[in-house]
A and B are shown apart, each in its own frame.
Chain A
Amino acid sequence: MAVTALATAEGKRPSRLRRLEDERWLALALLTPTAVLLGLFIAYPFFEGVMLSLSSTRVGEPGHFVGLKNFHKIWNDSIFHTTMWNTFWYTGVTTVFKLALGLWLALLLNRHFRGKAIIRAFILLPFIIPTVLSTFAWKWMFDPTFSVINWTLFQLGLITARINWLGDPDLAMTSIIVINVWRGVPFFAITLLAGLQTISPELHEAAAIDGARPWSRFWHVTWPLLMPVTLVVVLFSVIQTFADFQLVYVMTGGGPANATHLFATYAYQLGIGTGLLAEGAAISLAMFPFLFIIVVVQLLYIRRVETR
């Protein structure tokens, strides 16, 4: 009796819940919120961005279709050339330094010593503190008149006159690179450290017994095993650096004389600053081919790892 009652109760359950017993319906239900948000605020803006970049829209002035005119215009724009060169230089140099210094720091941390946990917690601070806020501290340190860096160099006898860090295009770019490296090294160090910890110490001991010097132990044992993590970390970092905005916006705003723009800051200046929405959108989209290549490389790599 009780059993039948239970069975009918089961049978009367709303059909919606029963549908969720089917894996396909459940998956659909679980993925809908994500699909709606990402469709509305990534796919749709992407489509709108392409349309915008092919139009003559300005703030308060709905434009019309003009084909590739905006792309043609930025292609012949000398500031855009500087921007492009800056972005590749900035991405390349910072990535090399972040990888080298991050790996060094990871190797330093990959031992047992007192206070390791607390040091690891502290060195991640540059990465977790909001970038804009820590960049202001750097801007104040690089201030031409009140710079503590100038003071230190002067006290060490390395300079006799002040260095105008943010007033000279090359120095400004160098300053920005320093800050980006400062912010990125902890991320490289902590993720590479996690990679190092998966390498068995026995491999090192075996190589040492075979007479390998520390350098060749690193080069022939550690580095090849660390390669997969390194590649993913580098690709992530390259994307973030290539599309960077905050650091340059705070430090120089693209100046002096538009010499330190990256794609994002130049797009902001034209699109939001002067209201040339269509051109701004075109400059943003100019990042797309490069980002696309990186994403494809990363996808191919992941697929290779998964099928292995």
Chain B
Amino acid sequence: MIEGALWRRWVFYNIPLILFVFVLLFPFYWMIITTFRPDGELYRPWNAVNYMPFWTNDPTLEHILYLFEETNFMRWMFNTMFIALVSTVISLFCGVLAGYALARLNFPYAGGLGTAIFVTYLVPQTLLFIPLAEIIRNFQLGDTPWSLILTYPTFLIPFCTWLMMGYFKAIPKELEECARIDGASRWKAMVYIVIPVAVPGILSSGIIAFTLSWNEFIYALVFLSSPDQKTVPVGVTSELIRGDVFFWGPLMAGALLGSIPVAIVYSFFVEHYVSGLTGSVKG
């Protein structure tokens, strides 16, 4: 890279980068500071003399306590975790097998099936939520975690399959052929030789699938109705707003605590997440 004088580097690189980071992270700072701000300070108009936006002198835990004592927040966390984990496992199972078949086996209509899965990858949830709600009701799944566990794979499987196809294609055919010459069956070669090599791909798809299911909103909003069945995004939206009244303190506390599981998973697997993300847009 050709670098210029010091001031140039600041003007063209460092200052813009600092601004980007500031704007991208500020809402999270705002979430945190609101969580710990007492109500008296929270509802002080922006043009009041003592409006003190960026700091608080008497932090409080009242909003977090409200969340645990007055709402089903722990239950929502548990629901979201359970749904996200189970649908991720189902999607990985289906996606790895389908990705293997589409990337490494010769069979009739392979190309057509690959295209079909790619097309479902691009179907947004908002296209089908109304008929799907009817179907869920007819299957007697309404208001149960299974309504989401079974429908989340519809957007996770195509994604996992697509990503895994990329990983499987990169593994040399010879690896499998060696195992088969040594007497392993096709099934064994797949399970013991090829899939272990693709573990980084499985991790990447798994992490992204987990964050996607934690993020999903419209299906959870439409399919679930009782307060103790809800997921975090839906519970926070429906139980902490009464009519026109927003409980901003608990709302921000809920948003903060509800983000933590995703943030933890993400922080452990940043590299896998990034490689999955960039892999997902490779044609």
Contact = CB atoms under 8 A, between A and B. Distances in A.
B202 to A, nearest CB: 15
Given A45-B132, A128-B211, A267-B126, A140 B251 contact: yes
A118 B134 CA distance: 45
Interface string A70-110: 00000000000000000000000000000001001100110
A68 interface: no
Among B24, B130, B211, B237, the one with the most A-chain Cβ atoms within 10 Å of its Cβ is B130
A17 B188 CA distance: 10
A30 interface: yes
B16 A104 contact: yes
A122 B21 contact: yes
Contacts of B179: none
A134 B107 contact: no
Contacts of B185: 17, 20-21
B95 interface: yes
A182 interface: yes
Given A34-B95, A111-B13, A128-B211, A26 B105 contact: yes
A107 to B, nearest CB: 9
B45 A146 contact: yes
A290 B2 CA distance: 44
A46 B131 contact: yes
A41 B150 contact: yes
B39 to A, nearest CB: 12
Interface in A2-59: 17, 20-21, 23-24, 26-28, 30-31, 33-34, 37-38, 41-42, 44-46, 48-49, 52
Contacts of B255: 133-134, 136-137
B133 interface: yes
Interface in B75-97: 90, 93-95, 97
Contacts of B270: 117, 120-121, 124
A115 to B, nearest CB: 10
B126 A263 contact: yes
B252 A137 contact: yes
Contacts, number: 293
A24 B24 contact: no
A145 interface: yes
A133 B233 contact: yes
Interface string A118-158: 01111111101111111011101101011110111010000
A182 B130 contact: no
Contacts of B258: 130, 133
B130 A272 contact: yes
Interface in A155-172: 162
Interface in B100-124: 100-102, 105-108, 110, 113, 115, 117-120, 122-124
B122 A281 contact: no
B181 interface: no
A190 B274 CA distance: 8
A125 B237 contact: no
Nearest to A235: B122
Nearest to B270: A121
Interface string B206-230: 0000010011011001100000000
Interface in A215-231: 228-229
B216 to A, nearest CB: 9
B16 A146 contact: no
A243 B282 contact: no
B30 A126 contact: no
Contacts of A201: 1
A105 B134 contact: no
Contacts of A146: 42-46, 248
B30 A140 contact: yes
Interface in A278-308: 280-281, 284-285, 287-288, 291, 294-295, 298-299, 301-302, 305-306
A23 B186 contact: yes
A272 B218 CA distance: 11
B68 interface: no
B130 to A, nearest CB: 5
B170 interface: no
A44 B132 CA distance: 9
A17 B97 CA distance: 16
Among B128, B153, B270, the one with the most A-chain Cβ atoms within 10 Å of its Cβ is B128
25 contacts: A20-B187, A21-B185, A28-B107, A33-B93, A34-B94, A34-B117, A42-B128, A120-B270, A130-B259, A133-B236, A133-B259, A138-B27, A141-B27, A143-B248, A146-B248, A194-B278, A229-B282, A232-B281, A233-B281, A249-B217, A250-B237, A264-B218, A287-B124, A287-B127, A299-B115
Interface of B: 1-2, 13, 16-17, 20-21, 23-25, 27-28, 30-31, 34, 42-47, 51, 53, 90, 93-95, 97-98, 100-102, 105-108, 110, 113, 115, 117-120, 122-135, 150-151, 153-154, 157-158, 161, 185-187, 211, 214-215, 217-218, 221-222, 232-233, 236-237, 246, 248, 251-252, 254-255, 258-259, 262-263, 266-267, 270, 273-274, 277-278, 281-283
